């Protein structure tokens, strides 16, 4: 059952095959609602009303991480004041704010974390459940993706927003950092791309600054087979991150600060890249951790939508957002050969026509999680739809967030039942969706074709073949 952009569509759980899912609770954050935990039948089993999530993550014991304050857009762009751990009852257990002292409207001088889009807690490289790689309650180290204001005239005359990786200890002491803009010239940007950035570095008018790269994911590689085989680019403490705006993903060597692996922005320079295809506006790109099916491959939501810098063209008069694809795809690929190992798109849902690519489409936001049974949990963020999909592309669970005005679900994570001792999980009830042709509201006429009132029209295409023309010779 797909909503496909209708004004009215079913919400909540619309499909559930308990024998085929990796069942648990699902954690996500919804605009104006807070942090929400639902069971497999879509029942809200817990809420943290005032906890924002960019994203929310949970550790064993029902303890959830998020933020208590998003800074005003006029003070900073997509910037959160804190990273905070909240227990089941809403009590603050840990918080970090002391990254930078700023002056915010209505508040005055205040310390803020400036965290955004991603963070990782010691013990787990990617932020979701991995057997044998769990964050303990006494974690000693946190990786944060943060913002910092810069002025670098050779890049652009506008004020710029830097994306800085920051490691801190439990007490908030800064242990290590890495600046993206400091490595601007290490990226393979052409003169045309640099010229487009100089003129318009993805300028955000509310905060009066350019968000050149707009980085939305950063995770450790963690233990992996590539490093075990001797590839030093894949050290477990190296960090995979990337830019939705510049169409690049890369690995930072934690020891040297060098970029040791890079994908994009040119996806035409080799046969392997052309076969992989352009990766536009990606979210939640990460190395599948050891212990999960597909370990060592990269899993990502290739959002599509719009991204890239370059020469002005027929879809971009300014040289910004020069590439556009109207459809999303989940991709899993080998980071060495770039061979695609698995994917999921509208075609795998039965929509074969190119015109239907947007039936699975999230040009903004979204996430992917590899589950222990080999299934993949997908957050189609812009539509507020979650899917659990098997390796053979069968949808075995579907949930649609019911408040259409508050769609845009940044990430969703499946949580093991035994992580939440405060709950006894409810009985799972299978949900079988009707065929779309048989689903209509009470009082509406049956929209299906009625063969009793159907006639064949001679000579009409699709019913009878036209009579052959007479030979007048």
466 domain-assigned: no
Tell me the C-alpha distance between 267 and 247, whole Å. Answer: 9
pLDDT-derived band at 465, boundaries 50, 70, 90 = low
Element spanning 359, H or E: none
Strands ordered across the beta sheet of 248-252:
215-220, 239-243, 248-252, 259-263
Tell me the C-alpha distance between 22 and 35, whole Å. Answer: 22
Tell me the C-alpha distance between 134 and 122, whole Å. Answer: 8
Lowest-pLDDT choice from 28-37, 158-167, 463-472: 463-472
Domain of residue 162: give its range: 12-433
Percent of the chain with pLDDT over 90: 85
131 domain-assigned: yes
1 domain-assigned: no
pLDDT of residue 1: 43
Preceding omega of 98 cis (within 30 degrees of 0) = no
260 domain-assigned: yes
Q: What is the pLDDT of residues 54-70, one digit of tens each?
A: 999 999 999 999 999 99
49 exposure class (CB count in 10 Å sphere: 0-12, 13-18, 19+):
exposed
Percent of the chain with pLDDT over 70: 94
Q: What is the pLDDT of residues 15-40, one digit of tens each?
A: 999 999 999 999 999 988 899 999 99
Q: What is the pLDDT of residues 377-429, one digit of tens each?
A: 999 999 999 999 999 999 999 999 998 777 789 999 999 999 999 999 879 99
Q: Answer whether residue 256 shows pLDDT above 50.
A: yes
Q: How many CA atoms lie within 13 A of 392 on its CB side?
A: 4
C-alpha torsion 143→258→149→34, nearest 10: -30
pLDDT-derived band at 181, boundaries 50, 70, 90 = very high
467 domain-assigned: no
310 domain-assigned: yes
Count of the separate structural domains present in the chain: 1
pLDDT of residue 2: 46
Choose between 37 and 354: higher pLDDT: 37
Q: CATH number of the domain that 168 lies in?
A: 2.130.10
pLDDT-derived band at 469, boundaries 50, 70, 90 = low
């Amino acid at each position: 059952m797909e909503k496909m952009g209708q004004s009215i569509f079913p919400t909540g759980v619309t499909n559930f095959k308990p024998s085929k899912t990796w069942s648990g609770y699902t954690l996500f954050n919804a605009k104006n609602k807070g942090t929400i935990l639902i069971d497999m039948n879509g029942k809200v089993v817990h809420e943290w009303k005032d906890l924002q999530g960019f994203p929310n993550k949970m550790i064993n014991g029902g303890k959830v991480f998020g933020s208590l304050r998003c800074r005003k857009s006029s003070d900073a762009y997509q910037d959160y004041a804190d990273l905070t751990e909240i227990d089941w009852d809403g009590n603050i257990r840990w918080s970090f704010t002391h990254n930078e002292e700023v002056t915010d409207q209505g508040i005055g001088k205040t310390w803020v974390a400036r965290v955004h889009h991603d963070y990782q807690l010691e013990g787990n490289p990617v932020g979701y459940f991995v057997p044998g790689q769990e964050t303990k309650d006494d974690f000693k180290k946190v990786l944060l993706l943060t913002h910092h204001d810069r002025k670098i005239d050779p890049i652009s005359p506008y004020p710029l927003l830097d994306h800085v990786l920051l490691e801190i200890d439990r007490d908030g002491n800064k242990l290590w950092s890495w600046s993206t803009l400091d490595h601007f010239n290490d990226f393979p940007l052409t003169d045309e791309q640099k010229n487009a950035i100089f003129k318009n570095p993805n300028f955000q008018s509310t905060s009066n600054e350019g968000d050149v790269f707009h980085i939305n994911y950063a995770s450790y590689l963690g233990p992996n087979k590539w490093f075990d085989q001797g590839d030093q680019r894949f050290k477990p403490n190296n960090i995979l991150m990337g830019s939705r705006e510049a169409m690049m993903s890369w690995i930072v060597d934690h020891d040297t600060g060098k970029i040791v692996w890079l994908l994009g922005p040119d996806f035409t320079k080799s046969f392997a890249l052309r076969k992989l295809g352009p990766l536009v506006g990606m979210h939640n790109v990460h190395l599948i951790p050891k212990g999960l099916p597909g370990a060592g491959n990269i899993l990502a939501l290739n959002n599509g939508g719009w991204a890239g810098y370059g020469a002005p063209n027929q879809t971009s008069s300014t040289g910004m957002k020069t590439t556009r694809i109207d459809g999303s795809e989940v991709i899993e690929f080998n980071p060495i050969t770039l061979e695609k190992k698995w994917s999921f798109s509208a075609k795998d849902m039965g929509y074969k026509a190119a015109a239907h690519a947007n039936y699975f489409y999230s040009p903004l936001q979204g996430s992917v999680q590899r589950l222990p049974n080999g299934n993949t949990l997908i957050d189609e963020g812009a539509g507020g739809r979650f899917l659990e999909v098997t390796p053979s592309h069968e949808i075995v669970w579907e949930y649609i967030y019911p408040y259409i005005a508050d769609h845009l679900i940044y990430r969703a994570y499946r949580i093991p039942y035994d992580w939440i001792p405060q709950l006894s999980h409810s009985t799972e009830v299978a949900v079988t969706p009707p065929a779309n042709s048989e689903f209509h509201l009470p009082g509406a006429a049956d929209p299906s074709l009625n063969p009793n009132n159907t006639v064949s029209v001679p000579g009409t295409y699709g019913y009878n073949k036209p009579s052959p023309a007479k030979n007048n010779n």
